[in-house]
Homo-oligomer: A and B are copies of this chain.
Amino acid sequence: MSLKHAILVLLDEEPSTGYDLMRKFKGSVGYFWNAKHQQVYLQLKKLNEDGLIHLAIQAQSGKPDKKIYSLSAPGKQALCNWLSTPIEPSKTNDAFLVKLYGGHLSSKEELLAELARHRATHTKTLDYLLGLEQSYRQLPAHQKDKYQYPYLTLRKGIIGEHAWLEWADEAKKEIKK
């Protein structure tokens, strides 16, 4: 679907290896896009075959060759076409809420334990995103301009995680009640 476009957007920002992209999916853009490495390497292969990205091989000793991909002219065109095509708001599938929905079949202890576990990962994600925000704020003005749009998506991540935690507090009280 749009893993393809997520990769193109990231490569437009800077040439990267599959591994680089993976680090982004696990880190700085993980709050809005996720993928497994197998999927990424496969997609890069396809994008290269389709001529949407270029490949430069950089030999390394003791490690597999580094394969650095970058956006090609047709790739940029394809990306721009996609960007100017309206998309539907994304749908959420959240298994944790499915579990909560059927909460009467669990014990309160189990529910609270799982809520706490999830809370911990969301707190960690929020802290990480706040760190990224700090880095952004310390950037010189022209760099801030450059990253204006990525920063906007970062704000979405931060606001979203805040909301999650706000809800979690409410949910905790309500379950204990």
List which A57-88 residues lie within 8 A (CB) of chain B.
76, 79-80, 82-84, 86-87
A102 in complex: contacting residue of B9, B32, B162, B166, CB < 8 Å: B9
Q: In the complex the two chains form, what is the Cα distance from A82 to B98 in whole Å?
A: 11
List which A80-122 residues lie within 8 A (CB) of chain B.
80, 82-84, 86-87, 89-106, 110, 114, 117-118, 121-122
Instruction: Point out the residues of chain B lying under 8 angstroms from A136, CB to CB.
Output: none
Number of chain A interface residues as a range: 35 or more
Knowing A5-B95, A33-B97, A102-B12, the reply to whether A174 touches B152 (Cβ < 8 A) is: yes
| A residues at B contact (CB < 8 Å) | 1-3, 5-6, 8-9, 12, 29-34, 76, 79-80, 82-84, 86-87, 89-106, 110, 114, 117-118, 121-122, 146, 148-150, 152-153, 155-156, 159-160, 162-164, 166-167, 170-171, 174-175
